Amino acid sequence: GEDVEQSLFLSVREGDSSVINCTYTDSSSTYLYWYKQEPGAGLQLLTYIFSNMDMKQDQRLTVLLNKKDKHLSLRIADTQTGDSAIYFCAAPRHSGYSTLTFGKGTMLLVSP
Amino acid sequence: EAGVVQSPRYKIIEKKQPVAFWCNPISGHNTLYWYLQNLGQGPELLIRYENEEAVDDSQLPKDRFSAERLKGVDSTLKIQPAELGDSAVYLCASSARTGDHNEQFFGPGTRLTVL
């Protein structure tokens, strides 16, 4: 089955860039996802990348995918205090459309 | 458009009592998920429904947990009897199948505390 690992905590200053890293084990994963969870709320999809892409940019978010190393990263440019939240990396448990396996989440703390 | 609705938002019960959670998915979403989220952890799947059929319930502790999705819309998750270790957030999510892309929309969750 799929296993997803993330660093647990990241602290940055407002205006800096944040980079959150994730590794996964199932090389047949088709789509890979980043979700955001604010306190007391459910998860919200931030962005996703298809496995045949190396990079995807969406406004302040950049996703980089290294399939050889099974490494995924999320870069947030010009990080704001409102970006403080927990970020989850997720990959399908089996290839194709399926249940997602989530990492433990990276808590991002942005200080003024 | 309303998102995924869950109730109650918070529930406090004593151990050995029964408890039930309710979820109303986004209209038109055929797939419904129940997840368990422990403190400091990511969501872990308990059960996945395609319409009214449970297609993945391998992680559901069937001795005390049960779920149903009558008419393929709303769903309830029940625990009977509850144990101290069941204290967690129970998340419901739904998705509309669009090829291999699986965007799940999550409700706010029900925070269960078992005393």
Question: What residues of chain A lie within 8 A of the CB of B39, using their CB?
Answer: none
DSSP string, A61-74: EEEEEETTTTEEEE
* Dist CA A98 CA B33 (whole Å): 11
* Tokens of residue B96, six digits: 């509309």
Q: How many CB atoms lie within 10 A of CB B44?
A: 14
Rounded to the nearest angstrom, the gap between the alpha carbon of residue A37 and the centroid of all alpha carbons in its chain is: 11
Nearest-CA distance A82 → chain B (Å) = 18
Does the beta-carbon distance from B100 to A97 stay under 8 Å? yes
* Dist CA A105 CA A84 (whole Å): 13
At A8-46, the pLDDT tens digits run 999 999 999 999 999 998 877 778 999 999 988 889 999
A108 falls in which pLDDT band (50, 70, 90)? very high
* Dist CA B56 CA B49 (whole Å): 7
Which chain A residue's Cα is nearest to B108? A42
Whole-number mean pLDDT of chain A?
A: 90
| Backbone φ and ψ of A41, nearest 5° | -120, 165
* Dist CA B13 CA B61 (whole Å): 19
Does the beta-carbon distance from A97 to B99 stay under 8 Å? yes
A42 touches B4 (CB < 8 A): yes
Which chain B residue's Cα is nearest to A47? B103
At A4-17, the pLDDT tens digits run 999 999 999 999 99
pLDDT at A96: 46
Checking if the pLDDT of B3 tops 70, the result is: yes
Checking if the pLDDT of B13 tops 90, the result is: yes
In sequence order, what are the residues at sequence separation of 6 or more whose Cβ sits closer than 8 angstroms to the Cβ of residue B57? B46, B47, B48, B67
At B38-88, the pLDDT tens digits run 998 999 999 999 999 998 888 899 999 999 998 889 999 999 999 999 999
* Dist CA B79 CA B90 (whole Å): 11
Rounded to the nearest angstrom, the gap between the alpha carbon of residue A40 and the centroid of all alpha carbons in its chain is: 19
Residue in A92, A102, A103 closest to B102 by CB: A92
